[in-house]
Amino acid sequence: PIQVPPAMATFILFESASGYGLFEMIQSEDIGSSLDEVRKSVLELNRFSKIVKLKAFMPFTSAENALENINAITEGEMTPLLKEFLEQNLKTGKKKKSKDDKKKKNKGPKLMVVDKKLGNMIKEVLDIKVISNEKAEELLRGIRLFFHNFIDKLGPEDVHQTQLALSHSYSRCKVKFNVHRVDMMIIQSIALLDQLDKDLNTFAMRVREWYGWHFPELVKIAGDNYIFARLANLIQHKENLDEEMLPQMEEILMDAGKAKEVLEAARKSMGHELSEIDMLNISRFADKVITLSEYRKELHNYLIKKMSDCAPNLSALIGEQVGARLISKAGSLTNLAKYPASTVQILGAEKALFRAMKTKGNTPKYGLIYHSTFIGRAQPKNKGRISRYLANKCSIASRVDCFSEDLTDKYGLKLRDQVEERLEFYRTGKTPRKNIDVMAEVAKELESEAKDKSGDKDESKEKSKKKKKRKRDDGDEDGKKKKIKKDKKKKEKGQKGKDGKKKKTKKDKK
Q: What span, in angstroms and rounded, lies between the C-alpha atoms of 1 and 31? A: 9
CA-based nearest residue to 92, from 127, 119, 129 = 127
CA distance 317 to 322: 10
Beta-bridged to residue 367, according to DSSP, are: none
62 by DSSP, 3-state: which? coil
Estimate the share of the chain in helix, then strand, then coil, as percent rounded to the nearest 5: 70, 5, 25
Q: Residue 483: its pLDDT value, please?
A: 60
CA angle at 373 for the pair 369 and 375, rounded to the nearest 5°: 60
Paired strand residues for 23 = 12, 54
Polymer length of the chain: 510
Which pLDDT belongs to residue 457? Answer: 59
C-alpha torsion sign, points 281, 282, 283, 284: positive
Q: CA-to-CA distance for 310 and 304, rounded, in angstroms? A: 10
Among 218, 283, 275, residue whose Cα is nearest residue 249: 218
Amino acid at 510: K
**DSSP structure string for 190-246:** HHHHHHHHHHHHHHHHHHHHHHHTT-TTHHHH--SHHHHHHHHHHH-SGGG--GGGH
Packing angle between helix 246-253 and helix 256-267, nearest 10 degrees?
A: 120
122 and 18 in contact (C-beta within 8 Å)?
no
What is the predicted pLDDT for the residue at 300?
94
pTM: 0.60
Count of C-beta atoms within a 10 Å radius of residue 399: 19
- Residues 193, 301: Cα–Cα separation, whole Å: 11
By the 8 A CB rule, do 225 and 200 touch?
yes
- Rounded to 10°, the helix 181-212/320-330 angle is 120
CA atoms within 13 A on the CB side of 422: 22
The C-alpha atoms of residue 353 and residue 361 are separated, in whole angstroms, by 9
Task: With residue 282 as reference, give the H or E element that holds it.
Answer: helix 276-310
Q: First vs last Cα of the chain: how many Å apart?
A: 134
Name the pairing type of β-strands 52-59 and 19-25. antiparallel
Task: Please report the DSSP string for 90-149 in residue order.
Answer: H--------HHHHHSGGGS-EEE-S-HHHHHHHHHHH--EEE-SHHHHHHHHHHHHSHHH
Helix (H, G, I), strand (E, B) or coil at 59: strand
Q: For residue 409, what are the CA distances in angstroms to 37, 200, 211, 305, 312?
A: 63, 32, 46, 13, 5
Contact 336, 398 (CB under 8 A): yes
How many Å is the maximal CA-CA distance in the chain? Answer: 140
Instruction: Determine the pLDDT at residue 323.
Output: 92
Query: What single-letter amino acid sits at 40?
Result: K
Please state, in angstroms and as integers, the Cα–Cα distance from residue 315 to each residue in 33, 360, 416, following that order: 60, 35, 10
Say which amino acid occupies 147.
F
pLDDT along the chain (510 residues), means of 10: 55 88 71 67 80 87 88 86 87 54 61 86 86 85 84 82 86 63 84 93 92 88 88 87 86 87 86 88 92 94 91 92 92 90 90 89 88 89 91 93 85 92 90 89 87 68 62 61 63 58 49
> Dihedrals φ, ψ of 239, to 5°?
-65, -30
- How far apart, in whole angstroms, are the C-alpha atoms of residue 40 and residue 53? 17
108 vs 123: CA distance, rounded Å: 12
3-class secondary structure for 295-313?
A: HHHHHHHHHHHHHHHHCHH
Tell me how many degrees the CA angle 374-188-325 measures, rounded to the nearest 5.
15
The separation between CA 426 and the C-alpha centre of its own chain, rounded to angstroms, equals: 38
Distance CA 394, CA 398 (A): 6
